[in-house]
Amino acid sequence: MARCFVTRRLPGSALDRLSEAHEVDIWLDRLPPSPSALRERAREVEGLLTLLTDRIDGELLDACPSLRAIANYAVGVDNIDLEATAARGIPVGNTPEVLTEATADLTFALILAAARRLPEAAAAVRAGEWLTWDPSWLLGHEVHGATLGIVGMGRIGRAVARRARGFDMRVLHTGRGGDGVPLDELLEHADIVSLHAPLNDSTRGMIDAAALRRMKPTAILVNTARGGLVDQAALREALETGAIAAAALDVTDPEPLPPDDPLMQAPNLLILPHIGSATHTARERMADLAVENLLAALDGQPMPHRASP
């Protein structure tokens, strides 16, 4: 029986299965453990189940000499130093595929909300501003027949493209398959740009001031991938100057975004608190996969969903 630390309560019954096989310590606070608290609670464990809010670096790994496996409750593993884990022979697992449809659904919800100005419309009703039917009030942009640019044609990008067909949209994409287009070309032609690329050294800040200038003044930027893909200062300026029409973000950098962050004051901007996978089905299945990864590794078997080399 191994000792495991889980950095948050998880939906569903997956942690019960982990507890049946191993000694499990669960962080019960709604907020994530601080770096020092994480280091202290993980100091003697063999298995670690983390969230994307937990930074796993060489310093933490040095403080956990017994650690044998890390299961990340996310598709991305940019919160984990994979070079440091590989150097120590610690496998890292993730939770792919099970949140694809939920995130694609939310992406389209953001597209529609931004294009049709739904947050503004709902706020106007509550504020008593709905006085009559006005032909020129709260005019938005049509999604049907628009050109959708998908940056990152992985599982989620492909799922978004499938939904776009129902709106008769023309789809451009970067990335896989050999039939993609360069990012600059996509930005110039797309009415809606939707980000689905992983966050790494080559993609960090890829939507910068120059990229935003290439977009149409009527274009909408949607990000349900990682906040670090976007230069948020440049995005604020683009929204304030009308360089693009609107943006809808489910992710920011940092998370949560402080209430006094300048981006919060930008016009025509919708920000959600990273709820792309927030359905009962997706979050419970993510827990299943994370626990399956940890159980396998602690039993000396390959992780079924391994993210590390």
Pick the CATH number of 100-271 from 1.10.3470.10, 3.40.50.720, 3.40.50.300, 3.40.50.2000: 3.40.50.720
Q: Which amino acid is at 144?
A: H
Would residue 274 show up in a list of annotated catalytic residues for this protein? yes
Residue 153: per-residue pLDDT: 95
Residue 294: per-residue pLDDT: 98
Instruction: Profile the chain (309 residues) by mean pLDDT over runs of 10 residues.
Output: 97 98 97 97 98 96 98 95 97 96 98 98 97 96 98 96 98 82 97 96 97 98 98 98 98 96 97 97 98 98 94
pTM over 0.95: no
Q: Do 3-97+280-298 and 100-271 fold alike per CATH?
A: yes
- How many other CB atoms sit within 10 Å of the CB of residue 176? 12
Query: CB under 8 Å to 11, separation ≥6 — which residues?
Result: 280, 283, 284, 287
CA-to-CA distance for 174 and 192, rounded, in angstroms? Answer: 14
Residue 33: per-residue pLDDT: 97
The H or E element containing residue 162 is helix 155-165
Of these residues, 226, 283, 285, 305, which one is catalytic? 226
Bridging pattern class, strands 192-195 and 69-72:
unpaired
Whether 115 and 142 have beta carbons less than 8 Å apart is answered as yes
Residue 175: per-residue pLDDT: 76
Residue 308: per-residue pLDDT: 85
Of these residues, 236, 274, 283, 305, which one is catalytic? 274
Long-range contact set of residues 180-184: C-beta below 8 Å, sequence gap at least 24: 180/153, 183/151, 183/211, 184/211, 184/214
Based on C-alpha coordinates, what's the Rg of the chain? 21
Token representation of residue 59: 């310093």
Would residue 255 show up in a list of annotated catalytic residues for this protein? yes
Would residue 226 show up in a list of annotated catalytic residues for this protein? yes
Whether 295 and 18 have beta carbons less than 8 Å apart is answered as yes
Of these residues, 40, 83, 255, 280, which one is catalytic? 255
What are the structural domain ranges in the chain? 3-97+280-298, 100-271
CATH C-level class of 3-97+280-298? alpha beta
CA-to-CA distance for 285 and 100, rounded, in angstroms? Answer: 11
Residue 136: per-residue pLDDT: 96
Residue 132: per-residue pLDDT: 94
**Longest CA pairwise span in the chain (Å):** 69
